[in-house]
Structure 1
Amino acid sequence: MKLWIRMTWLLALPCLAACHRGMEPVAFHDDGYPPALSDWHVVEARDGVLQLNQGVVPYELNTPLFTDYAHKLRTIWMPKGVSAHYSATDTFDFPVGTIISKTFFYPIPASEPRNAKDVARTYDTRRDFAGQGLNLANVHLVETRLLVRRKNGWIAIPYVWNADQTDALLARTGDVQPLRLISENGEREDFNYVVPDQSQCVSCHARDWTTRALQPIGPKARHLNRDYRYADGDENQLTHLTRVGYLTGAPAPADAPRNANWMDPHASLDARARAYLDINCGHCHNPKGAANTTGLTLDISTPKDRHIGICKPPTAAGQGTGDHFFDIVPGHPDDSIIPYRLSSTQPGTMMPEIGRSTVHKEGVALIKAWIAAQPGECVVLH
C-alpha cells in the first residue's frame, strides 16, 4: 500500500510543473469584494485540477475543525519581502497582504449511479490530490473562504463554487446546499451544507470578543507543527514556512508546541481529546472568546480542573443542558453536557452553534471515551 501511494505521488509530480502555466500572478485586493474567486488568482480550476499559484503554500492541521465531514485544502500566500512572526501560543502575526484560503470539498462516491448531491463520507484522501492541487475528477468543490489581511485588519470573504466547478462566486449572504453523505458501507445521510454569511465569521474568528477583530484560527504553532508532503518531499511545516520566507522566529520543531492528531492511535486518549476540544471549541471557549461568560474554557492551555468543565455546573439551565447538572461528569459521559450538545443538531442545543449540520460521530465517541476515563465524582448540592 505504501509503495502504491508513493508511486501515485511520483506520477502526480509532472502536474506540479504545469500548475502555474497560464495563471496570472496572485492579486491582492486591498478593498472591496471581488465577485469571483478567480479574481484573486490564488487557486484556480484549470485542466481538471484546482491548481495553486506560484508562492501559494498548502498546509494541514494536526487536528482539524469538523465541518460536516468535508475535506479541506488550506493555503497561505504573502507578498514578497514580508513574513509572519512566530508565536508559541497565539495565531502568527501575519503581515498586511497575506491571503489565507480554505477550500471545502468532498470526495465523489465510487458507487454508481451517483446523484449530483451525493458526496462521500470518508477520511481517505488518496484520490483527492493531484500534486498539491485537487483532482477535479474525484472531488466536488463546495466553497472557498478567504481571510485577507488588509491595513485595518483581517476580513473574511466567502465564495461558493458553481455547478460546473469552474469558478467560485462571491456569497456574502451565505448559501445552503442539500447534500447526501454516503459512507463506505453504503449508509446514507441527507443534510443541508450551510455556508455561513460574512457577518457570522466573527462568531468563530473573533479571538477577543471585546474588539471582535477577526483572526485566523488554524495557523498556530501547535496546529502546524507536523510534516506535509510538498512537491519536493516531506518537510515539517514550520521548517518549510521558515525556509520559503513566510515565517520568522520559529524554533526547531522539537522545541515548538504540538497538538496531537485526534485520530492517531499512538497518541494518548487525553492528548487526542484535548486537541479535538481545542480546535473545535477553544476559539470561543477561552477567557476572551465569545463564550467567555460561560466559565468553560476548552483551549489546550486550560488546566484540567473545573475550568475545563469537570464537575462544573452550567451558567444557564434549560434546553442546552439536557437536564444534566455538570459539563463533565467523570466516568459518566451520558450524564455530561458537553457530549450531549456535541450530539445534537438542534438550534439552541448544538455545539458548536454554527459550522455543522451533522453530528461528528467519531468525534463524539472520542470525547465520550475521554470522559469515561476521567477519575473522580461530582456532588450535587441541594
Structure 2
Amino acid sequence: MMALRGVAFLCALLMLAGCRREEAGVRFFPEGQPKSLGEWHVLKVDGGRLSLNDGVVPYDLNTPLFSDYAHKLRTIWIPKGKAARYDAQRSFDFPVGTIISKTFYYPLPGDGKWDGTSVARTSTGNDLQGGSLDLSRVRLIETRLLVRREAGWDAMPYVWNEAQTEAVLKRAGALLSLELVAADGSREAANYQVPDQNQCASCHATDNKTRALHPIGLKARHINRDFAYSGGSENQLAHLSRVGYLVGAPAAEQAPRNADWKDAAHAKLEDRARAYLDVNCGHCHSQTGPAITSGMWLDAAVSDRLKLGFCKQPVAAGKGTGNRLFDIAPGHADASVLVFRMDSDDPSVMMPELGRSVVHREGVQLVSDWIDAQKGTCDF
C-alpha cells in the first residue's frame, strides 16, 4: 500500500511539473492588454540574465532604425502549426497569434554600475551571448510588443522597472532622462521617449488610407543576413523557414538585401545611404505612407530622382526648411533640407519627428557624404 501511495505521489508531482512547464510557455492574449510583460512569457529574467522563452526566435536588421543610440533585442514568436508567408517587398503576412517584441537597452559605461542616468553611447549591435543578455552589463529601458490579433495588429509599450525584474504596461508612454556617455568620456543628455499607444501608429501605420498597423523591420531586404544563433550562425530567412515560421521564401541569394549602413569596406556609399533612409524614413515617406503629401519618397523601391527629393522644392516652408531651396541639392549636403532636418534636435524641425531626442551624428554624416557625392545641379 505504501509503495502504491509513493507511486501515486510521484505521478502527481510529474503531472504538476508538466503543468508548470506548459504554463511557462509563451502565452498569446487574443484580446485585452496585460499589465506586465511577464504575462506574455516571451522573455524571462533569471540569474541576472534576460533570455528568450522556448520557440522565441531572435533576429536583427541589416541596417536598423536609429533610436537615441539604443541597442535592440528583436524577437518573433508564432503559434505552433502556423507560419508567415513570404513577400519580396512588403512585410511578411503573419498569422493571428504572432508576437513580435523589441527590447530597447543600453550597455553600461565605465565600471558597469548603473547610476540612474548614465548609459553608453555606442553603435547598435547584437549583445546576445548564449541566447541571453547579461543584465550586469546593460540597462533595460522598454519592450514594445506588436501582436497580431483577429482584427489586426495591436501595439503595447512596456517599461522596465528599476530592479530590472519586470516591465509594466505604459499606455500613455513615458519620458526618461538619460545621459549618453561616449568612448572618449563626453556626455550628452537624452530625453528618451517611450511612445504612447497612439504614437505607435506614426511609424507602423504604413498605409495612410487604412491606418492599420504593420511590422516595419520584418521585410526580406532588412533581415536577409546571417545571425549568430546560440546553435551557430545561419541566414535569417533560411532559419525562419527551417523552424517553420516562414513559407515561400527563396534562397537567400535570390531575395532582396539592404546594405549594412556601417559596412564601408563591402558596400557602396549609395547602397548604405539608401538602406539608412529606407529603414529610418521609408515607412513614412512612401507612395502609401503618412508623408505621401511631401512628394519625397525614400523607400528602397524608388529610383526616380525627383521623388527621392533631388532638386525638388520642399512642401514645408519657413523654419522647417532652414531656408534651403531643395529637399536634396546634389553635391551640396549643407544646402539640402533633408540633412538640415536630420541634423536638428528641435521638435518643430527634426526628422524623424518621433523616436529620437538627439542627432544621429554618424547617420547625418553618411547621408551628407552621399549627397555631396551626387552629380548634377539645380537652378539655385
Normalising by structure 1, we get a TM-score of 0.92
Query: Shift of the alpha carbon at 1:129?
Result: 2.6
Q: Structure 1 residues 257, 223: closer, same or farther in 2, change over 3 A?
A: same
1:96, 1:149 within 8 Å by CA — same for their partners in 2?
yes
Query: What secondary structure sits across from 2:276 in the alignment?
Result: helix
1:316 Cα offset (Å): 2.5
Check 1:150–1:129 CA distance in 2 against 1; reply closer, same or farther (3 A cut): same
- Helix, strand or coil: the match of 1:129? coil
- Pairing of 1:303-318 with structure 2 (within 5 A): 303-318=303-318
Q: Give the C-alpha shift of residue 130 in structure 1.
A: 3.0
Q: CA deviation at 1:123?
A: 2.4
Does the 8 Å contact 2:286/2:298 carry over to 1? Answer: yes
CA-CA distance at 1:113 after TM superposition: 7.3
Task: Calculate the aligned-residue CA RMSD, in Å.
Answer: 1.5
Alpha-carbon offset, residue 23 of structure 1 = 7.4
1:54-106 CA deviation, whole Å, 9 max, x = no partner? 00000000000000000000000010000000000000000000000000000
SS in 1 for 2:103: strand
| 2:119 match: secondary structure | strand
- Give 3-state SS (helix, strand or coil) of 2:104's partner: strand
Q: Does 1:190 align with 2:194?
A: no
Tell me the equivalent position of 2:73.
73
Q: Given that residues 227 and 235 in structure 2 are in contact (C-alpha distance below 8 angstroms), is that contact kept between their aligned partners in structure 1? A: yes
Write the deviation string for residues 194-221 of structure 1: whole angstroms up to 9, x where unpaired.
0010000111001101110000000000
Contact 1:329 1:336 in 2 (8 A): yes
SS state at 1:199 partner? helix
The one-letter code of the counterpart of 2:45 is A
- Name the structure 2 match of 1:178: 177
2:38 alignment counterpart: 38
State yes or no: 1:52 paired with 2:49: no
Report if aligned partners of 1:175, 1:196 keep a CA contact under 8 Å in 2.
Answer: yes
Indicate the residue corresponding to 2:203 in structure 1: 204
Deviations 1:17-48 (A, max 9, x none): xxx98970100001110000000000011111
Specify the alignment match of 1:224 in structure 2: 223
Question: Cα–Cα, structure 1 residues 113 and 64, in superposed 2: closer, same or farther, change >3 Å?
Answer: closer
Partner of 1:242: 241
For 2:336, the equivalent position in structure 1 comes to 336
For 1:287, the equivalent position in structure 2 comes to 287
Indicate yes or no: 2:136 matched with 1:137: yes
8 Å CA contact retained: 2:114, 2:139: no
Question: Aligned partner of 2:133: which letter?
Answer: L
Cα distance in 1 for residues equivalent to 2:237 and 2:82: 16
2:294 matches 1:269: no
- Contact 1:49/1:130 (8 A) holds in 2: no
Identity %: 57
- Structure 2 distance, partners of 1:155, 1:113, is 35
Letter in 1 for 2:110: A
Taking the aligned partners of 2:68 and 2:50, their CA distance within structure 1 comes to 21
State the AA in 2 paired with 1:110.
Answer: G
Q: What is the letter of the counterpart of residue 183 of structure 1?
A: A
AA matched with 1:106: Y
The alpha-carbon deviation at position 124 of structure 1 amounts to 7.0
The answer as to whether partners of 2:112 and 2:136 remain within 8 angstroms in 1 is no
The runs of 5 or more residues in structure 2 that have no matched partner are 1-19
Unaligned residue ranges in structure 1 (runs of 5+)? 1-19
Paired residues in the alignment total 360
Question: Is the 8 Å Cα contact of residues 69 and 124 (structure 2) preserved in structure 1?
Answer: no
Q: Note if contact 1:23-1:53 (Cα within 8 Å) is conserved in structure 2.
A: no
Distance 2:377 2:188 in 1: 37
* SS, match of residue 367 in structure 1: helix
Q: Structure 1 counterpart of 2:350, which letter? A: M
- When the two structures are superposed, what TM-score results if normalisation uses the length of structure 2? 0.93
Distance 1:319 1:29 in 2: 45
Helix, strand or coil for the counterpart of 2:76? strand
Q: Is residue 155 of structure 1 aligned with residue 145 of structure 2? A: no
* Alignment deviations for residues 274-324 of structure 1 (CA, whole Å, 9 cap, x no partner): 000000000000011000001000001100411000000011311110000
Report whether the alignment pairs 1:368 with 2:368.
yes
* Equivalent in the alignment of 2:168: 169
Counterpart of 1:107? 107
Q: State the Cα deviation string for residues 213-239 of structure 1 (Å, max 9, x = none).
A: 000000000001000011111100000
- Judge which range, 371-380 or 117-126, deviates more: 117-126
